[in-house]
A and B are shown apart, each in its own frame.
Chain A
Amino acid sequence: AQSVTQPDIHITVSEGASLELRCNYSYGATPYLFWYVQSPGQGLQLLLKYFSGDTLVQGIKGFEAEFKRSQSSFNLRKPSVHWSDAAEYFCAVGPPRGDDKIIFGKGTRLHILP
């Protein structure tokens, strides 16, 4: 069955510290992969996406993610977090042909300590 697992419901880091949010997926083929961010009271905004090619992808707001096929993972990283990064982060996967629905993980809520 197709699924996305974000094992951490909540993560707390200090401002300026590095961040890694985990995402594992189960899919029949190499899927399209996405990370979205949701600030309080807002809709979801695309941070970055991976379709093919270089397995390290750069996104907006200084985020990057690395696709590891052997681990079925697509972890999100940022070298130094800012207080404005406090939000909920969703990993999502979609079919290779791209014309079907995508499956979202349950999200990881990021808290930033001053």
Chain B
Amino acid sequence: DAGVIQSPRHEVTEMGQEVTLRCKPISGHNSLFWYRQTMMRGLELLIYFNNNVPIDDSGMPEDRFSAKMPNASFSTLKIQPSEPRDSAVYFCASRGYGGGVSGYEQYFGPGTRLTVT
């Protein structure tokens, strides 16, 4: 299995520009999570989906952030307009539903390092 795939791995953009981060979860997984990691705030959950439906978006910082999951194999996190304080590493993670004692751990992608100048 290829694991969780994120693109791009690095993104440098100017303030005010739109940024789109992409995630392909592990095939067969039914939950997807977007996290943001910074030195100051650590690892923060932004939003998560179960079966392509957003369940909890309380971590989304503000209306500039939006996330979609049009199908089970693809999700996007969009920032419009971007600001320097959005600079962080953004992780996508997916989780299967194996039931019993397995299936509840999350598998993380390698992350997208976003720099907004």
Contact = CB atoms under 8 A, between A and B. Distances in A.
Nearest to A43: B108
A51 B101 contact: yes
B107 A46 contact: yes
Interface in A66-114: 90, 94, 98-99, 101-102, 104, 106-107
B97 A99 contact: yes
Category for how many chain A residues contact B: 20 to 34
Given A52-B101, A90-B43, A106-B42, A101 B33 contact: yes
B35 to A, nearest CB: 8
Nearest to A90: B43
B91 A101 contact: no
Interface in B69-107: 91, 93, 97, 101, 103-107
Interface string A32-72: 10101000001111100101110000000000000000000
A46 B43 contact: no
Contact of A101 (B4, B45, B105, B111): B45
Nearest to B109: A43
A45 B108 contact: yes
B110 interface: yes
A98 B111 CA distance: 24
Determine which residue in A32, A43, A94 has the highest number of CB atoms from chain B within 10 A of its CB, and name it.
A43
B105 A46 contact: yes
Contacts of B14: none
Contacts of A32: 104
Contacts of A98: 97, 103-104
B50 interface: yes
Determine which residue in A44, A94, A104 has the highest number of CB atoms from chain B within 10 A of its CB, and name it.
A44
A50 to B, nearest CB: 9
Interface of A: 32, 34, 36, 42-46, 49, 51-53, 90, 94, 98-99, 101-102, 104, 106-107
28 contacts: A43-B93, A43-B108, A43-B109, A43-B110, A44-B43, A44-B93, A44-B106, A44-B108, A45-B108, A46-B105, A46-B106, A49-B105, A51-B104, A90-B43, A99-B31, A99-B50, A99-B97, A99-B104, A101-B33, A101-B45, A101-B48, A101-B56, A102-B104, A102-B106, A104-B42, A104-B43, A106-B42, A106-B43
